[in-house]
Amino acid sequence: MNKGQFIAYLAPQFGDSKKEAARAVEVVFDAIIRNISKGDDVMINDFGKFKKVDRPARKGRNPFTGESIQIKASKKVRFLPAKGLKEVISGARKLGAAPTPPAKASPAKAVKKAGKAKKVARKPAKKVSRKPAKKAKRRK
């Protein structure tokens, strides 16, 4: 599942608004990224923990030439799955029912509101004359 599919999956929870679902996804990802970059761990119960890990400098090997190279120290993100997630993945625990979208307004109320709306007269569109372009005279 990519980000677009994730947003489409969440859209029914936001009244079929992909815009609102995308905003929610952006806010959650932004919060996770900002906290990890500060060095804080992000723990989500029954899902897992995101944490920043320092990797020390080390020696490696170029696979094409076989020569030794020095690899710089770096910082990485590590995800540690929670016990609940591990149990669901292994099949030891069953998932409950998926959350249902909130109830929509009944069509009868929508019809009543539409009937009260004022009717606006539309002006006819102006006609645009399309005259053929003049042909350029050729010189001999």
Q: Is the pLDDT at 31 greater than 60, yes or no?
A: yes
Sequence ranges of the domains in the chain: 1-40, 41-93
Query: pLDDT tens digits for 55-97?
Result: 999 999 999 999 999 999 999 999 999 999 999 999 988 888 8
Asked whether the beta carbons of 84 and 67 are under 8 A apart, the reply is no
- The listed CATH number (1.10.10.10, 4.10.520.10, 2.40.128.520, 2.60.40.10) that belongs to domain 41-93: 4.10.520.10
The span from the CA of 43 to the CA of 51, in Å, is 9
Query: pLDDT tens digits for 83-134?
Result: 999 999 999 888 888 888 877 665 555 555 555 555 556 666 666 666 666 6
| pLDDT score, position 124 | 64
Asked whether the beta carbons of 36 and 50 are under 8 A apart, the reply is yes
Q: Where are the alpha helices (DSSP H) in 78-130?
A: 83-90, 107-116
The span from the CA of 9 to the CA of 15, in Å, is 12
Q: Is the pLDDT at 137 greater than 80, yes or no?
A: no
End-to-end CA gap in the chain? 68
What residues are paired with 59 via a beta bridge? Answer: 70
Confidence (pTM)? 0.63
